[in-house]
Chains A and B, each alone.
Chain A
Amino acid sequence: MREELKELNKYRELLMMITYRDIKVRYKQSVMGFMWAVLMPILIVMSGIVVRYAYALASHKPLGTEDITSVAVKSLPWAFFVSSIRFSCLSLINNKDLVTKIYFPKEIFPISAVMASLFDFLVASCALTIFLIAARVGVGLNLLWIPLLLATMVLTAIGIGMIVSAASLFFRDVKFIVEVFLTFGIFFTPVFYDVGMFGDKGKWLLLNPVSPILEGLSACIVRHRPPDLAWLAYALSFALVSSLGGYVFFKHLEPAFAESI
């Protein structure tokens, strides 16, 4: 395994190149250019506001700025997660020529799919930052939690991405299953709502490994509180286990890729 990681390091220039290609192609193909990175998060934020407004009407409470900023802060990472999994799921199939004809570590494909989505996320984050400043969300020391939370998110995405990309190479219907999960995943993840709204039953929702990350981001950015450490530890260990497990799974199947695609 150490040797394999060493090899991956040797190929990091290739990883950058493929990521660069994915980003470039995506922005070249779309007429809107950089709007592409912002469009999906904006749509999610807007639907979140609609949902939140409905809650407010039903519970006869006013809709606060904090509710809206919290939806915005959680929508972006969710959009990143969805697009990472979606792109990495197809990353091997779409690069069939390279998989069957040239040798290099194939985990480069799912990882670069996640990296390209991360780039979109960073672009969208700039827009979000402006929005947050306009909404007068202050700064505080708790913002220092953000890198750890994002790293957990990226690791989780890479781990799941490696598993679904390899699985979809062998079974063509995996991509449909993944798509269904991504579409309905938003209902099982606290993006439009807060886990707190469920009271004690909220902990069941936090079992979804993405939930503690989103809740943590919302806590440290909007509410200026540190994230719930126990749940963060849970999400972090899930990220480590899934990325290591995903890597082992991927490497185990890799020799059969060229023959099975």
Chain B
Amino acid sequence: MSDVALRMEHVYKKFRKGEVYNSLRDFLPALTGKMFSQQELSERDKRDFWALQDISFEVKRGESFGIIGPNGAGKSTILKILSRIMKPTKGSMLVNGRLSALIEVSAGFHQDLTGRENIYLNGTILGMTRREIDSKIDQIIDFSGIEEFIDTPVKRYSSGMYARLGFSVAAHVNPDVLIVDEVLSVGDYVFQLKCLKRMKEVVSEGASVLFVSHNLKSVAEFCPRTLLLERGHKVAIGPTHEVISSYLSRSRNKHSSAADSREVAITNVAVRNHLGECSRFQSGEQAWIDIEVTAYKPCSKLSVSLYLTDEKFESILDTSSERLGHGSFSLEAGEVFNCTFELCLNLATGIFHVSSLVYRYDTQTTYDRWDPAATIYLSSDEGIRGIVNCFPTVTRHGTTAKSPVSLAVLNKET
């Protein structure tokens, strides 16, 4: 076998927009109508919609590969084509070995069967043999953590239990190619960790992973290489860091405020490093954020605040020019105010949003907010995970002599 696990070559996929006849009662009159009018054909061409256009990529054995892009970019269509549910309109694709998709993990469940029966049913649907399931059933039940209810019909399960059972079956398929699509939002925190651990195990056993997610942080952590899609086109492919920063620069949030209806508006926010405007930073790097405020009516006691949030829009930093000791400012109509925040980005690998707010500090009235005004991408050393980077180092690392206390314990045990 070659070292290619997955390959797509010039794949196109066309869908038809608009009404599709789904009953004979509508279809037969439409068919006879079509015979008499030639117009119909050109109209049909207009209704075509290309979900994918000229997509080519290759995933090597044992590689983790990410696919990112905004909604409607064609990510799910790619997954459906790879898992052979849909056929490409043009182009070819190749999958070497068993493919398993953690997409709809509980699709094969039947409400009236018990958990155990459903493990067999779903396992067979996902391509396991009966003997394989027999040998793994205890592992699967144990992984799901619902031994107590395993002989209860799944219709009595909570949605969390349902999804956990589904994931447990899918996680034990031992595929050559694993497709993961945002399933890690299943279950509680402990179960999520279990899933992530299992995914890494599958990779270490030599499987390839195709990871599709809106969570750029986990893509950055998990996949060295990534494909960026937009409206069915391949926009970028390559090292994840580069692809993510090109994604961020393309999808900058426009400020939608109707400026003239406001008294004061934020008219520009720019993020730069020591070289100039940019969206990709190294952890610990210095950053400057320029904020431009324009007044349309005279205003006083104004202040500008700056927020940093992580990918899930949880606040990380909240500060303002007034709180940093610069007092307030006043503007006449037509005047422009500029201020620059300088900050040190002691943050771990991930996506961070920069937002800004202009407000009157004594009454706390907000005049304008731009949320998020910019998105930046941080990359830190491999060893750092989480949100902040406190630049940890290990200063001591070695075995010390056994202490008298632990010796006493050991003696007692033997």
Contacts and interface: CB of A to CB of B under 8 A. Distances in A.
B1 interface: no
Nearest to A258: B85
Interface string B103-130: 1100110101100010011001111011
A173 B84 CA distance: 28
Given A174-B24, A260-B20, A101 B110 contact: no
Contact of B84 (A29, A103, A174): A103
Most chain A CB atoms below 10 A, which of B25, B87, B107, B120? B107
A28 B114 CA distance: 11
A24 B110 CA distance: 11
A17 B112 CA distance: 15
Nearest to A167: B24
A100 interface: yes
A4 interface: no
B341 interface: no
Nearest to B87: A255
Interface residues of B, number: 31
B94 interface: no
Given A17-B120, A100-B85, A255-B86, A28 B112 contact: yes
A171 interface: yes
A21 B23 contact: no
Interface string A18-46: 10010011001100000000000000000
Contacts of A103: 83-85
Given A98-B108, A101-B107, A13 B24 contact: no
Contacts, number: 68
A114 B54 CA distance: 42
A97 interface: yes
B85 A102 contact: yes
A14 B117 contact: no
Nearest to B106: A97
* Binding site secondary structure of chain B: loop
Given A13-B124, A17-B120, A24-B113, A173 B24 contact: yes
A134 to B, nearest CB: 36
Interface string B354-394: 00000000000000000000000000000000000000000
A104 interface: yes
Contacts of A231: none
Contacts of B24: 171, 173-174, 177
B329 interface: no
B23 A102 contact: no
Interface in A56-104: 97-98, 100-104
Interface string A194-229: 000000000000000000000000000000000000
B85 A171 contact: no
Nearest to A177: B24
Given A14-B124, A21-B110, A171 B22 contact: yes
Given A13-B124, A14-B125, A171-B24, A102 B86 contact: no
A172 B23 CA distance: 5
B80 interface: yes
Contact of B107 (A24, A25, A97, A255): A97
Contacts of A259: 15, 86
A173 B23 contact: yes
A63 to B, nearest CB: 44
A170 interface: yes
A76 B39 CA distance: 53
B121 A102 contact: no
Contacts of B87: 255
Contacts of B126: 102
B80 A17 contact: no
Interface in B109-164: 110, 112-113, 117, 120-121, 124-127, 129-130
The 3 A-B residue pairs whose C-beta atoms are closest, nearest first, are A101-B104, A103-B84, A255-B87
